[in-house]
Structure 1
Amino acid sequence: MYIQKKINDIDVVAYRMPYVSSVYIGIWLKVGSRHEKKEQNGISHFIEHMVFKGSKRRSAKDIAEEIDNIGGQLNGFTGKESTCFYVKVYKSYIEKAIDVLFDMVFNPFFKDDDIEKEKKVVIEEINMNNDSPEDLAYDMLSSLVWNGNSLSYPVLGTEDTVKSFDKDMLIKYYKNNYIKENIVISIAGNFDDSIFDSIAEKTAEVISSKTEMLLEKPNWNKGIILKSKEYEQINICISMPSIKYSFENIYSLSIINNAFGGGMSSRLFQKIREEKGLVYSIYSYPSTYIDTGAFTIFASTSIENLKTVYEIIRDEIYSVKENGFSEDEIDKFKEQLKISILMDMDNISSRMSVMGKSLLFLRKIYTVDDIINKIKSIEHEDVNNLAKKIFNIGQLGISIVGNINKKQIGWLKIE
């Protein structure tokens, strides 16, 4: 049963699941690296870290111990357009979980010593990210295709920007963004109505702002970007402009992704890994934002196989552009998507996330019945029309990371 209401002018959505023993509570905020200026890059993620360092009532140790002592799980993450903090606890400890979670998110202390220590932690995280070929290739790709727009910024920021953060800068950014208008609270699990009284008490002093941040829609930039680095394999990301996040088209896009490279029975996995043995890792994935999107393919292979792998991917893009997917493919992956969603909704974490993201960005909650009915209504031509719109070989953005130089990829051209 869905419950949707306003509490202290904050959007709250909840789904009661009396057959489980726990509850997930998430605080979603419409703030991420896309909302940053260049000199602020990484500040959304840094504040996410600082929230865990202590509030005006609790130290970082207090926060950790109080949740650990009740067997709970507490975490957070930052993306390009949102930040989320969440806690999972046994149903008997809901009030304690809300007290800790809301205290740390809405009353962070930002101690100078903690800021300096956390800079070192985040810089290590940036270094670790740069040691991951997939993460590095993706960040490079974003910097290329969204160049000139804040969507191109890495979520973690850079070592230079992180070093520049100070207390005043963090507090100003926090006050501008951790406001009622940017918040959605999402709850899933076993709870009673007293949870709403607790939320009302803990959000009474959250500030409001009538100043709305307007984001500039990015332009797509095709091209090739290369970074020579000592990795065992060559890692390549190939991307095309796609669609924004919307209920209307997101499930057709999911079918396209699953059919093309999203799983073990997809075209790319079967042809490039299973039939030819040219890669260990290959997959596609869609990225959807409030006003745009990208459809990306990642592969990791040897320098000897890189050209062949790229040519097969290119040929498959051509094939979809010209012929689309067969009715059998669409029917198979349509059913796969439907079953996957039904199983995901048994998971309270997935349920909390889907509701939170939907209300934050679409301003509406779509029930499981709404979603399943939408998937059932998708026609073969809906999928193929969208696929032919997205699959455009002349708009490729390509990033390559590995022990390779420009001369060795002289054959690679954007057509």
Structure 2
Amino acid sequence: MYIQKKINDIDVVAYRMPYVSSVYIGIWLKVGSRHEKKEQNGISHFIEHMVFKGSKRRNAKDIAEEIDNIGGQLNGFTGKESTCFYVKVYKSYVEKAINVLFDMVFNPLFNCDDIEKEKKVVIEEINMNNDSPEDLAYDMLSSLIWNGNSLSFPVLGTEGTIKSMDRDTIIKYYKSNYIKENIVISIAGNFDDSIFDSIAEKTSNVMSSETGKIVEKPIWKKGIIFKSKEFEQVNICLSMPSIKYSFENIYSLSIISNAFGGGMSSRLFQKIREEKGLVYSIYSYPSTYIDTGAFTIFASTSIENLKDVYELINDEIYSVKENGFSEDEIDKFKEQLKISILMDMDSISSRMSVIGKSLLFLGKIYTVDDIIDKIKSIKYEDVNNLAKKIFNIDQLGISVVGNINEKQIGWLKIEQ
């Protein structure tokens, strides 16, 4: 059963699951790297880290021990458009979980010594990210296709921006973004109505603001970017402009991605890995934002196979553009998507995430029945019309990273 209400002018949504033993509680905020200025890039993610370092009532060890001692899980993550903090606990420890989670998120201390120590931690995280071929290729791609817009910024920031942060800047950014208008609280699991009283008590002092942040819609930039780095394989990302996050088209987009490169039975996997044996890893995925999106293909291969892999990917893009997907493909991946969603809803964390993200970005909760009905209503032409709209070779943004030089990829061109 879904419950939706306002508590202290904060949106709260909950889904009761009386047959489980635990509860997930998430605090979602509409703040991420997209809301940053260039000189403060990485501050949203840095604040996510700092929240765990201590509040005015608890130090970092207290926070960790209070949740560990009751067998709970406490974590957070930051994206380009949102930040989330969440806790999972056994149903009898809900009050304790709310005390800790809401205290650390809404009463962070931002101790100067902790700030300096955490800068080192985040810089190590940036270095680790740069050692991941997929993460590096994607960050390079984002810097290309969204160039000139804050959507191009890496979530982690850069070593330079992290080192330059000071306590005053952090507190000012926190106060302007951790406000009622940016918050959604989502709950899933086995709980009673007393949870709402606890939330009311712990959010009574959350700040409000009448001035909301407006983000500028990016303009797509096609082109090629590459970086020479000592990796065993060459890693390539190809991306095309796609659609924004919306209930109307998101499930047609999911069918397209699953059919094209989403799994072992997809076109890319079957053609390029199974039939040709040219790659170990190849897949596609959509990225959707509040006003735009990208459809991206990633592949990892040897320098000797790179051109063949690139041309085969292009052939498959052309094939979809000209002929679309067959009815059998669409039927198969519609059913796959439907079953995947139904199975995901067995997960308490998935429930918490789905309802939180839906209310944060769409302003509305879509039930599982709404979602399944939407998938069932999708027609063949809906999928193919959207695919043909997205699959445009002449708009490709491409990033390549590996042990290569510019001469070795001189054949790589973008159609004009």
Q: TM-score range by the shorter chain?
A: over 0.9
1:44 aligns with 2:44: yes
Amino acid of the residue matched to residue 406 of structure 1? E
Question: What secondary structure does 1:3 align onto?
Answer: strand
Amino acid of the residue matched to residue 111 of structure 2? K
- Aligned residue for 1:299? 299
1:152-171 CA distance string (max 9 Å, x none)? 00000000000011110000
> Percent identity over the alignment?
90
1:170 aligns with 2:167: no
1:50-72 CA distance string (max 9 Å, x none)? 00000000000000000000000
Amino acid of the residue matched to residue 132 of structure 2? S
- Aligned residue for 2:208? 208
Question: What secondary structure does 1:155 align onto?
Answer: coil
- Aligned residue for 1:186? 186
Amino acid of the residue matched to residue 285 of structure 1? Y
- Aligned residue for 1:221? 221
Amino acid of the residue matched to residue 119 of structure 1? K
Amino acid of the residue matched to residue 32 of structure 2? G
Shift of 1:336: 0.2
- Aligned residue for 2:386? 386
- Aligned residue for 1:243? 243
- Aligned residue for 1:279? 279
Question: What secondary structure does 1:330 align onto?
Answer: helix
1:17 aligns with 2:21: no
Shift of 1:213: 0.5
- Aligned residue for 1:27? 27
- Aligned residue for 2:92? 92
1:59 aligns with 2:59: yes
Counterparts of residues 106-125 of structure 1 (less than 5 Å): 106-125=106-125
Amino acid of the residue matched to residue 10 of structure 1? I
Give the TM-score, by structure 1 length.
1.00
Give the TM-score, by structure 2 length.
1.00
Once superposed, which parts of structure 1, at least 4 consecutive aligned residues long, lie more than 2 Å away? none
Shift of 1:281: 0.4
Distance 2:410 2:30 in 1: 42
Question: What secondary structure does 1:55 align onto?
Answer: coil
Amino acid of the residue matched to residue 63 of structure 2? I
1:69 aligns with 2:30: no
Q: Which runs of 5+ in 2 are unaligned?
A: none
Amino acid of the residue matched to residue 146 of structure 2? W
Distance 1:274 1:175 in 2: 52
Q: Which runs of 5+ in 1 are unaligned?
A: none
1:233 aligns with 2:237: no
Distance 2:360 2:314 in 1: 36
Question: What secondary structure does 1:74 align onto?
Answer: strand
1:288-345 CA distance string (max 9 Å, x none)? 0000000000000000000000000000000000000000000000000000000001
1:13-37 CA distance string (max 9 Å, x none)? 0000000000000000000000000
- Aligned residue for 2:141? 141
What is the Cα-based RMSD across aligned positions, in Å?
0.3
Distance 2:4 2:53 in 1: 32
Question: What secondary structure does 2:236 align onto?
Answer: strand
Distance 2:406 2:385 in 1: 36
Q: How many residues align?
A: 415
Distance 2:159 2:371 in 1: 42
- Aligned residue for 2:344? 344
Question: What secondary structure does 2:256 align onto?
Answer: helix
Distance 1:122 1:29 in 2: 21
Shift of 1:78: 0.2
Question: What secondary structure does 1:241 align onto?
Answer: strand
- Aligned residue for 1:156? 156
- Aligned residue for 1:289? 289
Counterparts of residues 309-324 of structure 1 (less than 5 Å): 309-324=309-324
Question: What secondary structure does 1:398 align onto?
Answer: strand
Distance 2:224 2:405 in 1: 12
Distance 1:322 1:210 in 2: 49
Shift of 1:96: 0.0
Question: What secondary structure does 1:14 align onto?
Answer: strand
Amino acid of the residue matched to residue 130 of structure 2? N
Distance 2:343 2:188 in 1: 15
Amino acid of the residue matched to residue 56 of structure 1? K
Amino acid of the residue matched to residue 288 of structure 2? T
Shift of 1:287: 0.1
Distance 1:407 1:388 in 2: 33
